[in-house]
């Protein structure tokens, strides 16, 4: 089930000493609704500040534009000096996919940002990395060659015509590189040795660059040379990984320190496992690992599922349990408590939300029973569907772990994952239904003094009403989707749990009927007859198909129980 598309933006500004300037820039970022500012990291020696924020694509593009604009107004590059290479007030502005979005899509947003900035701001913009317009501009170091001081001559060269903006030198703003790249993970693996040399031997085994090729012993053997007298290199086992060994005095042991620059090439768990293999071969042991900074949720989910499969367990368990498996398997708690709420980007974004699904069962029931009109029937219908899907997932997981059914783990695991996906979407719809109701109330309270205000209010009510109709309609559809795997669980699942599959089907039927009532009441009085006719047709079809599917599952359940 698709969730929110999230992009991380990590602009680097050429100011790291005057925090009043940096605050003005970050204030512009935080003004944009839907943006979460994650980190502000100034460096005095480099005179450079790295800012990290995240959000959905459109707010991220707007926040990045406003930050670039403000930096060009308050940072004067003609007076800038620092140890880090740079060419503009906003030196680089990479966009990074976090969840439910591809790198290609992010590259398109980088181009949109470049076009907007180039059209509205009076200085040059270059695209780099995955958004690069030309192969020779992919490497940031190439784009930034000559730095700020070389821009006047560089802009005269037709080969270096900017992708967006004027080919004219702007002494104050310089030039900015906008790009799209994959998420970079800073990751350290702990060893039971204090030897940097031995840690380096592991680092050389796993990093993409590898080690100098030698005959016989890979450490002490004679170097192998090519035909032209150049040293030959033996590639390491992990693509897109840079690694070195170092000793950490604070911990009293050595680590392999890595940058994983492309998580599609090397996953977190692969890097860990390759370190473990190399260390074991060399008489050492990996004792744990350490994540530096934040990580996308998908990275932890992939690791957790990998280790669950290694253990012969179902991967169709709750997200929190999958991540917990990753934490323990990777030894992320060795150096201190690893809190997913503070280390996983998506969880940090959820931290400030007050969601119904985060309440205890009693608190949720009490809130429903209160004098407040929300949560109402739509949210309860969604929750009933979530419980139905959960029961199906439970049957799948019990079946996956049934003694003697080891050859069917993958089959049941896949169905358990289907149940988890449906459950998660329906839980999200619990809150979305209440939000839809609240939006109607908010729209109806808009001012209506003038004709213009009346038109704005009417349009807002129409939009909110359609959302309030389509949300329970989605509850109907998603709850109906659960029948297909519930039927399989009734037919092939653990016979001792067949009644649970039946109860799951009944819960989904109640969800479909309950959501149907909410579709009808929200359609009442809506003036767009063509739209209502289309909605009713789909809702009526779902209702009939739901009843048929539920009856079919209950017949299977009855037969199994009576066998």
Question: Residue 389 corresponds to which tokens in the numbers above?
Answer: 């899907």
Place of tokens 């049957």: 395
The side-by-side arrangement of strands in the sheet containing 241-248 is 241-248, 253-260, 185-191, 286-292
Closest CA to 69 of 120, 34, 127: 120
Run of H or E residues at 122: none
**SS3 sequence of 5-51:** CEEEECCEECCCCCHHHHHHHHHHHHHCCCCEEEEEEEECCCCEEEE
Closest CA to 350 of 312, 320, 311, 380: 320
Closest CA to 254 of 182, 213, 200: 200
Question: Residue 69 corresponds to which tokens in the numbers above?
Answer: 């604009």
Catalytic option among 18, 84, 262, 328: 84
- Please confirm, yes or no, whether 407 is among the known catalytic residues: no
Could you say which DSSP state residue 218 is in? T
Three-state SS at 405: coil
How far apart CA 163 and CA 176 sit, in angstroms, is 11
How far apart CA 500 and CA 488 sit, in angstroms, is 13
CB atoms within 10 A of CB 451: 8
Judge contact between 113 and 199, C-beta under 8 A: no
How far apart CA 180 and CA 333 sit, in angstroms, is 32
Could you say which DSSP state residue 248 is in? E
- Please confirm, yes or no, whether 433 is among the known catalytic residues: yes
How far apart CA 351 and CA 527 sit, in angstroms, is 39
Catalytic option among 163, 431, 433, 500: 433
Phi, psi of 178 (to 5 degrees): -115, 130
Three-state SS at 221: coil
Active site residues: 84, 433
């Amino acid at each position: 089930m698709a969730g929110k598309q999230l992009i991380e933006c990590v602009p680097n500004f050429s100011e790291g000493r005057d925090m009043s300037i940096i605050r003005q820039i970050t204030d512009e970022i935080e003004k944009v609704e839907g943006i979460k500012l994650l980190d502000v990291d100034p460096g005095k020696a480099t005179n450079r500040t790295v800012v990290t924020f995240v959000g959905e694509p459109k707010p991220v593009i707007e926040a990045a534009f406003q930050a670039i604009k403000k930096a060009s107004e308050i940072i004067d590059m003609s007076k800038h000096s620092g140890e880090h290479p740079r060419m503009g007030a906003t030196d680089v502005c990479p966009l990074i996919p976090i969840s439910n979005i591809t790198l290609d899509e992010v590259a398109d947003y980088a181009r949109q940002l470049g076009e907007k900035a180039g059209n509205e701001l009076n200085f040059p913009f270059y695209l780099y990395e995955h958004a690069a317009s030309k192969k020779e501009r992919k490497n940031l170091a190439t784009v930034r060659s000559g730095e700020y001081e070389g821009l006047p001559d560089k802009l005269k060269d037709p080969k270096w015509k900017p992708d967006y903006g004027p080919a004219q030198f702007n002494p104050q703003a310089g030039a900015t590189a906008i790009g799209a790249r994959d998420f970079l993970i800073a990751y350290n693996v702990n060893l039971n040795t204090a030897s940097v040399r031995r840690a380096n031997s592991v680092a050389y085994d796993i990093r993409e660059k590898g080690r100098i090729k030698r005959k016989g012993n890979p450490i002490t053997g004679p170097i192998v040379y090519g035909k032209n007298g150049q040293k030959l290199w033996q590639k390491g086992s992990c693509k897109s990984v840079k690694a070195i060994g170092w000793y950490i005095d604070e911990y009293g042991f050595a680590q392999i320190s890595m940058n994983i620059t492309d998580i599609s090439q090397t996953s977190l768990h692969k890097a860990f496992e390759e370190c473990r293999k190399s260390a074991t071969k060399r008489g050492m042991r990996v004792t744990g690992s350490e994540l530096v900074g934040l990580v996308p949720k998908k990275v932890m989910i992939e690791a957790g599922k990998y280790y669950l499969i290694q253990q012969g367990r179902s991967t169709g368990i709750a997200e929190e349990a999958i991540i917990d498996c990753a934490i323990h398997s990777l030894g992320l708690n060795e150096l201190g408590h690893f809190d997913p709420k503070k280390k996983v980007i998506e969880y940090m974004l959820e931290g400030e939300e007050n969601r119904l699904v985060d309440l205890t069962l009693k608190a949720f029931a009490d809130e429903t029973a209160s004098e407040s009109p929300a949560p109402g029937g739509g949210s309860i219908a969604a929750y009933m569907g979530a419980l139905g899907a959960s029961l199906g997932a439970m049957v799948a997981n019990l079946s996956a772990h049934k003694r003697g059914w080891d050859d069917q783990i993958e089959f049941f695991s896949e169905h358990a994952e289907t149940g988890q996906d449906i459950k998660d979407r329906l839980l999200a719809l619990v809150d979305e239904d209440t939000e839809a109701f609240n939006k109607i109330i908010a729209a109806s309270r808009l001012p209506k003094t003038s004709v213009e205000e009346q038109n704005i209010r009417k349009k807002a009510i129409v939009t909110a009403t359609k959302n309030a109709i389509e949300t329970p309609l989605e509850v109907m559809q998603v709850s109906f989707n659960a029948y297909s795997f519930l039927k399989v669980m009734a037919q092939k699942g653990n016979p001792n749990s067949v009644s649970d599959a039946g109860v799951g089907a009944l819960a989904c039927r109640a969800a479909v009927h309950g959501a149907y009532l909410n579709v009808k009441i929200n359609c009442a009085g809506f003036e767009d007859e063509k739209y209502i006719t289309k909605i009713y047709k789909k809702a009526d079809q779902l209702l009939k198909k739901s009843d048929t599917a539920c009856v079919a599952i209950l017949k299977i359940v009855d037969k199994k129980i009576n066998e």
